[in-house]
Amino acid sequence: MIKALEGFEFDGMGNGPTLYRAEDHQCFKTCVVVQGKEEPKDKFDLMEVIKVVPREELVYDAAMFGGELGPSDPKQC
């Protein structure tokens, strides 16, 4: 399963396309920044979208934290 997901990009889980990066297994997607409303009009009027940050602005170098991911073969675990 790990190898199948590495580098996989998919859509349909919330706010846009998601990348499952192969190098460090981090998922990246657009981030919606919200703030709770102090005086909502009704039970559905709870948050205000403050900013939408594109995925491209959130991606960082995979080598930043280093480390070894370990084996992807369950027989080696």
pLDDT of 76 higher than 90: no
Residue-wise pLDDT for 13-54, tens only, equals 777 899 999 999 899 999 999 999 999 999 999 999 999 999
Question: What integer pLDDT is reported at residue 46 of this predicted model?
Answer: 97
Nearest to 53, CA basis, from 32, 35, 27, 34: 32
Residue-wise pLDDT for 44-61, tens only, equals 999 999 999 999 999 999
Residue 35 burial (CB count, 10 A)? 10
| Tokens at 32, concatenated | 């919606």
Return the domain boundaries, the chain.
Answer: 2-58
